[in-house]
């Protein structure tokens, strides 16, 4: 899904960001629609993470707090 989103956004003409489009019975600029979809996707990602933590009873350890400073335990190269 993220690869498909990236492909669409890379090909999108920035000059069209303020163009209005009919979306779900209303009009929105492309920029507003992109922000809305990003926010919506983020919300669902948070729901998935929370439910995974609850149902699996595990800490997903995205960060290591053992030094008192958060350190990323996930890395970009592992997701490819």
Tens of pLDDT, residue by residue over 36-64, are 999 999 999 999 999 999 999 988 888 88
Both structure tokens of 20: 């209005």
Q: What is the dihedral of CA 49, 55, 59, 62, to 10 degrees?
A: -20
Taking 80 as the threshold, does the pLDDT of residue 80 lie above it? Answer: no
Share of the chain above pLDDT 90, in %: 71
User: Contact at 8 Å (CB) between 75 and 62?
Assistant: no
User: Contact at 8 Å (CB) between 62 and 74?
Assistant: yes
Q: What pTM did the predictor assign?
A: 0.70
């Amino acid at each position: 899904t993220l690869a498909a989103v990236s492909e669409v956004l890379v090909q999108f003409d920035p000059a069209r960001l303020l163009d209005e489009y009919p979306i779900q019975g209303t009009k929105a600029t492309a920029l507003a629609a992109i922000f809305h979809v990003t926010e919506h996707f983020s919300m669902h990602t948070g729901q998935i993470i929370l439910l995974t933590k609850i149902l699996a009873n595990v800490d997903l350890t995205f960060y290591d707090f053992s030094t008192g400073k958060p350190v990323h335990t996930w890395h970009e190269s592992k997701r490819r």
